[in-house]
Amino acid sequence: MLSLEEAKSCLESAGQSHLLQFWPELSEEEKGSFLLELSQLDLKGLKDHCEGAAQAAASPAASLDRDIEPVPPEFIGSVRRSDKNTLADWENEGLLQISENRVGVLLLAGGQGTRLGVRYPKGMYDVGLPSSKTLYQIQAERIHKIQELADLKHGSKCTVPWYIMTSEFTLDPTEKFFKENRYFGLEPSNVVMFEQRMIPAVTFDGKVILQSKGKLAMAPDGNGGLYRALVDNEVLQDMEKRGVEYLHVYCVDNILVKMADPAFIGFCVSKGADCGAKVVEKAYPTEPVGVVCRVGGVQQVVEYSEIQPETAERRGPGGELVFSAGNICNHFLTRAFLLEVAQKFEGQLKQHVALKKVPFVDRCGNQVKPTKSNGIKMEKFVFDVFPFSRHFVVFEVVREDEFSPLKNADGAALDTPTTARHSLLAQHCRWARAAGATLLDGQGNRVTGQDGPPAQCEISPLVSYFGEGLEPLLRGKTLPTPFLLDEKRAKELQDL
């Protein structure tokens, strides 16, 4: 740990002497904690970090319109445009890889759920389903089910390890939640939690923000902090030890995520990809999602703010959007590529500016909660590695089946607990009807699913991963809603 003199000297060199202005007012315990926090900072790189943040925030986003082009069709697979046999081949390849313990899932869960308005990790959120399951439980049960499907097909006893990247804010509550829920039936040794780095928030004139008199305002380094965190926590070695060659990487807030999706994995493996991105067709030209495309011949994600409206609205001969591949933070990465990124490219990853309202202590020592953006948080994004991929592919999926993020509290227009709940229930209603069931509402009327919110029909992932296996249970059945098809109810229906 640094001494006070060493900390003073380093901070002075970085132009950040103000951080010690309240030092005499701190207790001995607070002084010890603050010195420890300063010791964990990259003090040598602090000056560059602060100057770079201020410079980046002041620079307008570059327009990329001249150099942007869509990903060529030969590198794109599509659930909508592929025939049943091709889809089955990809799924079989994926299930084979899963059965051989070569597939892991990696969850990005370092964010704080501030927009959602909760003080706990998003994965612990219950969107109001009939089962009251949280996002973490739904995802854990999907891992159970995909292992079971691979085992049934190949006579194996496989494991899909679950790597969970947390942050200083989310590690302890996430660990506690999993322990209290007995890891949702998963083997604890196969759930590997690790922490990403934190970096200081900076004012517009390049000064590190003091959150309180003896604490810096810190933030996770974005989901692109994954690549440094894999090295810091020796996660790549763990993957190698387990024989994991392929990773399905995703964000915690998508209630429809297909864990270790065999079709996606099978497509990427069959194409020899080292990196792949799932996309959905953009709902409308100016939808605020990044676009997976090429810039100057190199694949990357271009943020919606970096494209002019006339480019976003360009259409092809069939009336389709030219730049329609909406990024949903759902990726395939080989372990070999992750290792290469960690060893060669991590330092070259682009830094992104996020302007935030950061609580701080003013010069008089008063705590201030700002009403407008006062700080810069620099983030790296998980997709920033796309340009380094040698064999990059895109996999287009159906939004209604695979993408419904939870970002905002109810009352917002999009991506709320209500929209997430409705997406899942609507999907399960479609599955039930496709299996031959008739759903009835509270008044005994048939539910068609065309108007209003979906019926309260929920199907446990332990019963069906993606709509499979339901016909023997539901064909010809009339089901009053709310209807919850869990393992117990499935057994009752099986015995009828």
Centre a 10 Å sphere on the Cβ of residue 359 and count the other Cβ atoms it contains: 15
Section 212-233 average pLDDT: 93
Residue 472 CB contacts under 8 Å (≥ 6 apart), including other chains: 494
The closest of 105, 384, 451 to 260, measured between CA atoms, is: 105
Computed over every residue of the chain, the mean pLDDT equals 94
DSSP string across 157-180: -----EEEEE-TTTHHHHHHHHHH
Residue 359 CB contacts under 8 Å (≥ 6 apart), including other chains: 211, 217, 367, 368, 369, 370
Residue 85 in contact with residue 98, Cβ under 8 Å?
A: no
Section 193-197 average pLDDT: 95
Task: Please report whether residue 468 resides in a domain.
Answer: yes
pTM for the model stands at 0.93
- Supply the CATH number for residue 325's domain: 3.90.550.10
Section 275-301 average pLDDT: 94
Q: Based on the fold, state whether residues 32 and 78 are members of the same structural domain.
A: no
Q: Based on the fold, state whether residues 486 and 362 are members of the same structural domain.
A: no
Task: Please report whether residue 56 resides in a domain.
Answer: no
Residue 170 in contact with residue 110, Cβ under 8 Å?
A: yes
pLDDT at 364: 92
Encode pLDDT of 348-363 as tens digits: 888 888 898 999 999 9
pLDDT at 444: 87
Q: Based on the fold, state whether residues 104 and 148 are members of the same structural domain.
A: yes
Q: Based on the fold, state whether residues 117 and 263 are members of the same structural domain.
A: yes
Q: Based on the fold, state whether residues 471 and 352 are members of the same structural domain.
A: no
Q: Based on the fold, state whether residues 153 and 267 are members of the same structural domain.
A: yes
Task: Please report whether residue 418 resides in a domain.
Answer: no
Q: Based on the fold, state whether residues 11 and 123 are members of the same structural domain.
A: no
DSSP string across 335-374: HHHHHHIIIIIGGGPPPEEEEE---EE-TTS-EE--SS--
pLDDT at 456: 95
Residue 93 in contact with residue 82, Cβ under 8 Å?
A: no
The identity of residue 107, as a single letter, is L
More reliable by pLDDT, 64 or 203: 203
Q: Based on the fold, state whether residues 13 and 145 are members of the same structural domain.
A: no
- HSE, CB side, 13 Å, CA atoms: give it for residue 430: 11
- Helix (H/G/I), strand (E/B), else coil: 276: strand
- Helix (H/G/I), strand (E/B), else coil: 221: coil
Strand partners, 457: 483
For the chain, give percent helix, strand, coil, nearest 5.
40, 20, 40
Q: Which residues of 290-299 are buried (b: 16+ CB within 10 A; e: fewer)?
A: bbbbbbeeeb
Q: Domain of residue 445: give its range.
A: 432-495
Q: Based on the fold, state whether residues 40 and 75 are members of the same structural domain.
A: no
Encode pLDDT of 152-183 as tens digits: 999 999 999 999 999 988 999 999 999 999 99
Residue 188 and residue 301: Cα distance in Å, rounded? 35
Residue 168 and residue 225: Cα distance in Å, rounded? 13
Section 106-125 average pLDDT: 90
pLDDT at residue 451 tops 80: no
